[in-house]
Amino acid sequence: MRIFDPHIHMTSRTTDDYRAMHAAGVRALVEPSFWLGQPRTSPDSFCDYFDALLGWEPFRAAQHRIAHHCALALNPKEANDPRLLPVLEVLPRYLVKDGVVAVGEIGYDAMTPAEDAALAAQLQMAADHGLPALVHTPHRDKLTGLLRTLEAVEESALPAGRVLLDHLNETTVKAARQSGAWLGFSVYPDTKMDEQRMVAVLKEYGTEQVLVNSAADWGHSDPLKTVKVARAMLQAGFSDDDVDLVLWRNPVAFYGQSGRLALDVAEPGAAHEGNSLARGGE
Ligand SMILES: [Zn+2]
C-alpha cells in the first residue's frame, strides 16, 4: 500500500512520526502553511517559516524516504492582522520555487472582509503561477462557509478543477461535488470525520477526485489516519485499486497540476545548511 498524505503539518510533528508514517506506507506528503497557534507579528516570521517548509522539513522527511512538498499562503486566520498583509507581497517570489505545488491553505476562518480580500488575491496568484489551490473550509457554520468559498472560486480566474476544497463533511460534500472541485476530507481522532464516516461518504459519492488527509498538526491528531482509512475501505469491500486511487493517484493528479511533483526521494545528505538530525557528533 502506498500512501500520499495531501495535508499534514509536519513542522508540528516529531521524527518518530516520520518513522511511523514510512513504516505504514506513507511515501509522499504535502505540508500546507498554516497558523502556528502563537500569532505572528511580522511578515519576516512568515519568510523564515516558508524557508523551513522548503529546506529543513524536506530534508527531515528525506531521512525517512518520504517525498515532502509544500503549499504556501497567508492563512485565513492571520489574514485578519493588517501587520501581516505584506506577506502577500513576498509570496509571489516563493511561489516560483520547486518544492511549492499549490497555494494554500487559503479560504475562510471567521468569514471577514479581510479574509475575502486575501482569498481573492491568492486565488489570482494561483492562476498567475499555474498552481492549484488548497482551500480550507471553516470548521464552524460549515455550509455557509462552503457556499461563500464556492462564490469566491467562481469569481476567480482559477478553474474549479484546480481547487481542492478541504475539511469537507456530510453537510458540505454535496455542494462541493457539484462544483467540480476536488474534495478533501480531514480525518481526525474524536471529532469531525472518522474512518467509518469517510467510508460511508466514499460509498455515496464515489472515489473520483476525492482525497483523504490526516491534517495532523499541534492539536489532537493522528498522522496515520490516512492508512487507517485505507484499511477501513478494504474492510468495507473497496478494492486495492480503489484505495490506491484515493490515497495515491488522486493526490498525485491534483498536485501534479503544478508540474512540480518529485516523488523519487533523493539520497538524503548528512546535513542541511550545517544542521543535522544527529546530536553531539553521532
Ligand atoms: Zn491544515
Ligand 1 center–CA 214 separation, angstroms: 9
**Average pLDDT, stretch 169-183?**
97
pLDDT in tens, 91-100: 999 999 999 9
Check the CA dihedral 237-20-23-28 and report its sign: positive
Ligand 1 center–CA 267 separation, angstroms: 28
> Residue 66's pLDDT band (boundaries 50, 70, 90)?
very high
Lowest mean pLDDT of 112-121, 178-187, 270-279, name the range: 270-279
3-state secondary structure of 10: helix
Distances (CA, A) of 242 to 93, 145, 229, 245, 263: 38, 30, 12, 5, 20
Among residues 4, 161, 132, the alpha carbon closest in space to that of 71 is found at 132
**Distance between CA 110 and CA 11 in Å, rounded?**
24
Whether residue 282 has a cis bond before it, omega within 30° of 0: no
**Rg (alpha carbons) of the chain, rounded to whole number:** 18
Residue 93's contacts (CB-CB under 8 Å, 6 or more residues apart) are none
Ligand 1 center–CA 191 separation, angstroms: 15
Domain ranges of the chain: 3-256
Whether residue 281 is predicted with pLDDT greater than 60 in this model: the reply is no
Whether residue 124 is predicted with pLDDT greater than 90 in this model: the reply is yes
Lowest mean pLDDT of 50-59, 168-177, 271-280, name the range: 271-280
Ligand 1 center–CA 7 separation, angstroms: 6
Check if the beta carbon of residue 132 is closer than 8 Å to that of residue 162.
yes
pLDDT in tens, 195-228: 999 999 999 999 999 999 999 999 999 999 999 9
Among residues 277, 209, 260, 257, the alpha carbon closest in space to that of 67 is found at 260
pLDDT of 276 = 80
Across 187-211, b (16+ Cβ under 10 Å) vs e yields: bbeeebbbbeebbebbeebebebbb
Check if the beta carbon of residue 72 is closer than 8 Å to that of residue 34.
no
**Average pLDDT, stretch 130-157?**
96
Check if the beta carbon of residue 23 is closer than 8 Å to that of residue 228.
no
Mean pLDDT rounded to a whole number for the chain: 95
Whether residue 282 is predicted with pLDDT greater than 50 in this model: the reply is no
> Residue 190's pLDDT band (boundaries 50, 70, 90)?
confident
Percent of the chain with pLDDT over 90: 91
Ligand 1 center–CA 67 separation, angstroms: 18
Enter the C-alpha cell of residue 60.
527531515
pLDDT of 14 = 96
Distances (CA, A) of 14 to 8, 99, 212: 12, 21, 21
Ligand 1 center–CA 135 separation, angstroms: 10
pTM for the full predicted model: 0.95
Enter the C-alpha cell of residue 271.
546535513
Ligand 1 center–CA 32 separation, angstroms: 6
Check if the beta carbon of residue 112 is closer than 8 Å to that of residue 93.
no
User: What is the DSSP annotation of 77-135?
Assistant: TGGG-GGGTTHHHHHHHHHTSTTEEEEEEEE-SS--HHHHHHHHHHHHHHHHHT--EEE
Ligand 1 center–CA 34 separation, angstroms: 6
Ligand 1 center–CA 264 separation, angstroms: 24
> What class is the 3-256 domain?
alpha beta
